[in-house]
């Protein structure tokens, strides 16, 4: 049977593509204002491929900041990829280190969210993740280069381009909520992100909020599973008791019938 993993991954990338193209255009516009050519913008999207980091880097370039603070800032922002790549690696225990490295190099928040929304699709299927990530990457490059080329003809505010990325994240987040536990973790992540953004300078909230939310999830999930197992166990006990009563009634009924037949004889 032919492996359709890559094609399935391309299909799964459609929601990401619809968000990446307009956001990429917005990035291309900003890169053009910072003095980058379309060629340089395309190379940055090809090799860096980190939306939030690219936006911040271009803004810092626009302000004339030295290269080292730019590299350091983008490094700390992208530390969240350690969490995402380590999580995904659990589903590719049969893949080589080389394959894992290629998958990690194209990992983004959006492709991670799509992949984790249905883990049965990615389990030891690197072709699926390659299809998802390469299609998303191509959409990002296309959008950013298009924005750099035709930026002067586009009014980003008029087309709502700044809201494209938040709307994409909202859509992907809704796909992730499959239980009340997920909902509470989402609320905890949102509140903690707001708190850390208010309490700490810079972009530390991007790293700290997911860490805190993940810790809360680790603590709450066993309790939720225990509660669920108790509920299921209670249901099974009630069902067993009901079955035993039905069997006992049937036996008593059979005994009465047999006694009646003996009396007739």
Instruction: Report pLDDT digits (tens) over 80-135.
Output: 888 888 888 889 988 888 999 889 888 998 899 889 888 888 988 999 999 999 99
Q: What is the DSSP string of 145-174?
A: HHHHHHGGG--TTTTTGGGHHHHHHHHHHH
- Within 10 angstroms of residue 136's Cβ, the number of other Cβ atoms is 26
Ramachandran region of residue 108, left (φ > 0), alpha (ψ -120 to 50) or beta?
Answer: beta
Instruction: Report pLDDT digits (tens) over 153-205.
Output: 766 666 666 666 676 667 767 767 777 888 888 888 889 989 988 998 876 77
Q: Report the predicted TM-score, pTM, of the whole model to 2 decimal places.
A: 0.66
* Alpha-carbon span 4 to 1, nearest angstrom: 9
pLDDT band at 67 (very low <50, low <70, confident <90, very high): confident
Q: Exposure of 184 by Cβ count < 10 A (0-12 exposed, 13-18 middle, 19+ buried)? A: middle
Instruction: Report pLDDT digits (tens) over 202-256.
Output: 767 777 887 888 788 878 776 655 555 454 444 443 444 444 455 555 545 555 5
């Amino acid at each position: 049977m032919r492996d359709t993993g890559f094609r399935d991954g391309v299909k799964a990338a459609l929601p990401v593509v619809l968000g990446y193209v307009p956001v990429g255009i917005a990035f291309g516009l900003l890169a053009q204002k910072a003095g980058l050519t379309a060629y340089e913008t395309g190379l940055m999207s090809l090799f860096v491929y980190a939306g939030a980091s690219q936006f911040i880097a271009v803004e810092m370039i626009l302000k004339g900041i030295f290269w080292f603070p730019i590299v350091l800032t983008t490094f700390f922002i992208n530390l969240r990829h350690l969490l995402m790549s380590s999580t995904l690696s659990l589903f590719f225990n049969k893949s080589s280190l080389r394959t894992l490295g290629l998958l990690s190099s194209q990992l983004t928040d959006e492709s991670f969210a799509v992949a984790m929304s249905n883990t049965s699709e990615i389990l030891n299927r690197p072709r699926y993740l390659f299809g998802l990530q390469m299609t998303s990457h191509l959409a990002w490059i296309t959008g950013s280069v298009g924005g750099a080329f035709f930026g002067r003809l586009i009014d980003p505010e008029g087309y709502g381009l700044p809201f494209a990325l938040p709307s994409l994240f909202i859509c992907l987040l809704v796909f992730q909520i499959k239980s009340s536990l997920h909902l509470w973790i989402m609320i905890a992540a949102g509140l903690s992100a707001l708190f850390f953004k208010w309490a700490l300078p810079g972009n530390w909230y991007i790293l700290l909020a997911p860490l805190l939310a993940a810790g809360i999830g680790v603590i709450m999930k066993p309790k939720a599973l225990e509660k669920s197992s108790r509920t299921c166990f209670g249901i099974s006990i009630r069902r067993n008791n009901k079955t035993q009563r039905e069997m006992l009634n049937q036996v008593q009924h059979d005994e009465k019938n047999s006694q009646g037949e003996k009396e007739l004889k």
